[in-house]
Amino acid sequence: MAEAIVVSGGVRVPAHALTVRAVRASGPGGQNVNKVATKVDLRVDLSAIEGLSEAARARLLTLVAPRLDADGRLVVTSQVTRNQSRNLDDAREKIRRLVAAALTRPRARVASTAPASAAQRRLTTKRYRATLKQSRGRPATDD
């Protein structure tokens, strides 16, 4: 059984919320890749994470939406090394980083106005382009 993942002081992913499965990895590894299950498939029940506020839980759901399985669990895989225990550590670290990212509130966007010089530049460019296009027409005839 896997042990709990401590994200911060009051936030942790309990051991009962984690499901670990080892499967055969793809990629380099020679004959070893066909024999040994080194890739780790770690699933997390998001509703069991302790210490998350409702706002942080909503941010986490938005953040991990593409990684959810049919049961609504977060799926994280790791096959960076040829060692199952190191891949498990890597997958656990990925989960810790995802939950930690959901804990930080995004900064509020402060609406700003464009400087007057930008508006002046835009109008000057518009006048220049207008005269340029005007000069492309047929020359005026003097009758």
Domain assignment of residue 21, yes or no: yes
As for how many domains the chain has, the answer is: 1
List the one residue out of 83, 77, 99 whose CA is nearest residue 14: 99
Domain assignment of residue 128, yes or no: no
pLDDT beyond 70 at 143 = no
Domain assignment of residue 110, yes or no: no
Domain assignment of residue 82, yes or no: yes
Domain assignment of residue 127, yes or no: no
What pLDDT, in 10s, does the model give residues 109-137? Answer: 999 999 999 999 999 999 999 999 988 98
Domain housing 90: 5-103
The pLDDT value recorded for residue 124 is 97
Domain assignment of residue 117, yes or no: no
> Percentage of the chain with pLDDT > 70?
97
Domain assignment of residue 139, yes or no: no
**Domain harbouring 59, CATH code:** 3.30.160.20
pLDDT beyond 80 at 27 = no
Domain assignment of residue 111, yes or no: no
Contacts of 106 (CB under 8 A, 6+ apart): 59
- Listed in sequence order, the DSSP H helices in the chain are 32-35, 54-64, 84-103, 116-134
